[in-house]
Chain A
Amino acid sequence: MRARIGEYTARATESIRSEPGVRESVTGATLAFDRKRRNAYADIDSDHWRHWAEAVKNHTLTHLDDYLTQAEERLEANGAHVHWAADAAEARDIVTTIADDGLVATAVKGKSMLTEEIDLNPALEAAGIEVLETDLGEYILQLLDEPPSHILGPAIHKSLQQVRDLFADRLGSAPDGDPDTLAQAARRVLRDAFIHAEMGITGGNFLVAETGTVALIENEGNIRLTTSLPRVHVALVGIEKLLPRMTDLAGFLQLTARAATGQPIGCFVSLIQGPASQPGDDGPEEVHVILVDNGRTDVLAHPHAWEALRCLRCGACLNACPVYRQTGGHAYGYVYSGPIGSVLDPGLLGLHEAMPLPFASSLCGACFDACPVRIPIPELLLEWRREAQEQGLTPWKERAALAGLASVATRPGLYRLAGRIGARLGGTGAARALPMLGEWARDRALPRPSRRTFRELWREGIE
């Protein structure tokens, strides 16, 4: 995915000004996710679980070469093909070559941030292969030709009415259909694709070294179908996704689900060791696992940012973030948005490419409290800010303006004050009246502040 992070300030402004529905949808969804996450943490000794998960990931990342080669050995012994891709172009070439060799006309896909990162769909389409996203949210976005805006709920920025209009137009469903009817309309199209596709493409939540197991978590069943019915399965897995042992996986499957959606485990988990090779075994004839670097070894080499590679892509930090909630993910301009995007993108893309994300935060710490692997996001943000300043990367005015936005997003009192003054002055007068916000808000409308703080809303469980 081409990064458009440099436009963050302008895109955030545009989103707030001309798409008030986005803020409403994103706030509703993230508050609901976050409430469920907090309840699910309360059910377990979450401190103990999170410290344990942090330690397993740190152990893995400091022994990563050993675990990568062990996983490769196990997968090959299981009959899977293992490929290594240094960058996005190489990963795309590997997938298109596999598709070519397998005479693939149609591919079905499970939700995968990594395939967004490497821009896989356009490459497959250019090779003449029809690609269908099968996660319901991703399917909606594919019809709209939009990127995902949240790791877990890619289409949370869309309202029911927007989906109604889209499906009425593209699938011929009733213009006033309820979510059930709309889901059934998508199911009919995708069911047919599952049965006829020659290739299934997924990411991988984890790769267990000792058994060569690719683990995938989901709720819809589309990933199980994607990895079960087509003749060829291709899993693209970031090299940081390793876990040493199957027993580790037991903890991580549960912790990821609790952090992401508050469930004890995803409705469906696929554990894939290889192709169906024994008599009586059912599944794809070919399984390919592509181990992708694409900047991860740069992150690993960074003295601080390497900790971001523990990330499970659960989305809990996005849900907890008052700044993310204002705009949703698109403003961030890259596949990884919100707090984790702000610390990971500078490592993956280079700090210059990822400016001004490290400044788009109030450092309130809610992301760290939510993170199941205790990534010290606020500390990493400060580290990137320090490096950016050292390299003279942002004009101080924009830095101050973003700090101002982040700060008022976190403190509705200040925000309301700005709003009240604004009501009297009209338009963006209030923001201009606040010294920190003036630069940012010139010619821009600010969103209506909530009457209560986000922490109050959490406490009251209002979605």
Chain B
Amino acid sequence: MSAARAGSRERILERVARAAAGRERTAHPGNLGTRVAADPVAWFVKVFTSQGGEVVEGEGTLSAGEWLTGFLRGLDNKVTGVAVGADVPAELRPQLPVVAAAHAGAGISVAWAAVAETGSLILPSTGTRAVQLLPPVHIVWVPEGRVFARLEEALWELRDELPSAIGLHSAPSKSADIGQTVVTGVHGPGRCIAVLA
């Protein structure tokens, strides 16, 4: 299936080994050890919103699904149809018609976790990638107690249970490629809303 020439792999590896042969083989310096703030949730909210993300907290008296339905109806783009990730549990789904991601007013996902220092939502490929990317608004449930202070900790924990792909979403889709002016919603969602459960 590959058009690679016979022996390229060996030749490259041999050249790499030869290039490094006379050079001191230096040690790995260990972990970077970035700083930590006391309250990861507050830290997450601060960093995520500073990059254009939005954070809301589900309200107590309603069920999560009912609350989300009301929230979606109140959005500017008046969501009528939603796309929902395959791994979103029934109780976190809104009571709105489900449509294909390309036509949905909002996509609903559930994060594996969030990270405070980078303001990131960690989205595994066991969700539905089109739901995370195609609708103009992306709403992401962050399960309780799942906010890591540092990215290093989150990736360390993920290491042994990696799905085929992970997306880190830390802001709405942005570009400054036209006249150096920032525009949002270029390819991916123009709004990214984290819901802290």
Residues of A within 8 A of B181 (CB): 160, 178-179
Interface majority SS (helix, strand, loop, mixed), chain B:
loop
User: How far is B13's CA from A291's CA once the two chains are assembled, in angstroms?
Assistant: 11
Question: Which of A253, A265, A268 is the one whose CB lies under 8 Å from B188?
Answer: A268
- Residue A423 lies at the interface, judged by CB distance under 8 Å to chain B: no
Given contacts A52-B29, A268-B173, A273-B162, contact A179 B133 (CB under 8 A): no
A169, CB-defined interface residue at 8 Å = no
Task: Assess whether A90 is in contact with B167, with CB atoms less than 8 Å apart.
Answer: no
With contact pairs A137-B177, A300-B16 given, residues A280 and B87 touching in the complex (Cβ less than 8 Å): yes
Q: In whole angstroms, how far apart are the Cα atoms of A462 and B194 in the complex?
A: 34
Bound: A246/B155 CA distance, A = 6
A84 B9 Cβ-Cβ under 8 A: yes
Residues 139 to 170 of chain B near chain A (Cβ within 8 Å): 150-152, 154-156, 158-159, 162-170
* Known A179-B179, A221-B133: A247·B164 in contact at CB below 8 Å: no
**CB of B24 within 8 A of chain A?**
yes
Known contacts A179-B181, A194-B187; 6 additional CB pairs below 8 A are: A247-B32, A254-B34, A263-B51, A267-B170, A283-B165, A301-B15
A274 within 8 A of B: yes
Of the candidates B15, B19, B27, B174, the one having the most CB atoms from chain A within 10 angstroms of its own CB is: B19
Q: Are B32 and A65 in contact (CB under 8 A)?
A: no
- Shortest Cβ distance from residue A80 to the other chain B in the assembled complex, whole angstroms: 9
Q: How many A-B residue pairs have CB under 8 A?
A: 280
User: Which of B59-67, B71-79, B90-98, B117-125 is the interface stretch?
Assistant: B117-125
Q: Mark A85-106, 1 if CB is under 8 A from B, else 0.
A: 1100010011011100100000
> In the complex, A136→B184 CA distance in Å?
12
**A265 pairs with B118, CB closer than 8 A:** yes
Report the Cα distance A263→B13, complex, angstroms: 36
CB contact list, A49-82 vs B, under 8 A:
49, 51-52, 55-56, 58-59, 61-65, 68-69, 78-79, 81
CB distance A301 to B19 under 8 Å? Answer: yes
Interface residue stretch chosen among A222-230, A321-329, A407-415: A222-230
- The reply on B38 being an interface residue by CB < 8 A is no
Q: Which residues from B are CB-within-8-Å of A228?
A: 129-130, 133, 165
Bitwise, A213-227 to B at CB < 8 A (1) or not (0) is: 100000111101101
Shortest CB distance B192–A (Å): 8
A364 at the interface (CB under 8 A from B): no
Residues of A with C-beta under 8 A to B2: 81, 83, 94, 97-98
Q: How far is the CA of A158 from the CA of B51 in the complex (A)?
A: 26
- What is the bound-complex CA distance between A136 and B173, given in angstroms? 12
Which of chain A's residues 256-302 have a Cβ closer than 8 Å to chain B? 263-278, 280-283, 287, 291, 293, 297, 300-301
A304 CA to B119 CA, complexed, in Å: 38
Which residues of the partner chain A approach B185 to less than 8 Å between Cβ atoms? 183, 187
Indicate whether A221 sits within 8 Å of B187 (C-beta atoms), given known contacts A32-B180, A136-B177, A182-B178: yes
- Which residues of chain B in 1-34 are interfacial with respect to chain A, using CB atoms and an 8 Å cutoff? 1-5, 8-9, 11-13, 15-20, 23-29, 31-32, 34
